[in-house]
Amino acid sequence: MKSITILIADDEAEIADLIELHLEKEGYRCIKAFDGQEAVSVVQTHSIDLAILDIMMPKLDGYEVTRQIREQYHLPIIFLSAKVTDLDKITGLIRGADDYVTKPFNPMELVARVNAQLRRSTQFNQSTQANKLALEAGGMIIYPEERTVFLYDKPIELTPKEFDILYLLASYPKKVFRVENIFQQVWGDAYYEGSNTVMVHIRTLRKKLGEDIHKNKLIKTVWGVGYTFNG
């Protein structure tokens, strides 16, 4: 499993060392930087999962480091700063930080905040990946991970077999599937002659997709052969 790497950018070596000590106890790998330019360079040359940035750093301050990171990368950023007013915190969040911790700080609280940000980042990435796998055609979106279907932004309630048929056809648009092929792939069983199971399911599927009222026929019958997705 990939180890999680955290950037600690602070011009006070004692603080950076203290944070590193506690994060390494949690199993994280840490890379330290002591000015803003070095912090940007680390992000550009390493796979960083989260950054802890001091605001007042030499060469580039934390705001500018965050701006440059956000131009190319999507990773959680926690500001760690001696700037303690509510306005400072609000400014930090507006400038792109995901969280804001004031100095002096409790190392265990910082670790807890790091864990929370990494959990959120993982959930977001998983959701994004699932969305990338979504199929879109003819006003319809299919989310295979959630097994949900939306047609013109309206959820369509399908049975498991109806969903499997639709997803199979939509995964290979324009490809013609014979009835026996659909049965074998969806039911996982040998097709027996004369079965109208697939035809019945496709009939109810078409009704749920509103093919009787929409001009765009998503499932097309190829007479004498089978069915194809026409999205």
Domains of the chain and any CATH numbers: 5-125 (3.40.50.2300), 135-229 (1.10.10.10)
- Residue 193: φ, ψ to 5°: -55, 135
Residues 132-151 pLDDT 10s: 578 887 788 898 878 899 98
The overall average pLDDT reported for the chain is: 87
* CA–CA distance, 166 with 118 (Å, rounded to integer): 36
128 has a pLDDT exceeding 60: no
- H helices within 32-106, ranges in order? 36-45, 62-72, 86-94
Mean pLDDT over residues 37-60, rounded? Answer: 96
pLDDT at 72: 85
pLDDT tier at 17 (50, 70, 90 boundaries)? very high
SS3 138: coil
Structure tokens given for 191? 């097709």
Residues 78-94 pLDDT 10s: 999 999 898 888 889 98
Name the pairing type of β-strands 99-102 and 135-137.
unpaired
pLDDT tier at 190 (50, 70, 90 boundaries)? low
**110 close to 86: Cβ distance less than 8 angstroms:** no
pLDDT tier at 199 (50, 70, 90 boundaries)? confident
pLDDT at 39: 97
Q: Residue 99's CB: how many other CB atoms inside 10 A?
A: 20
pLDDT at 130: 54
pLDDT at 7: 98
SS3 69: helix
Which distant-in-sequence residues (6+ apart) come within 8 Å of 84 by Cβ? 102, 103
Percent of the chain with pLDDT over 70: 89
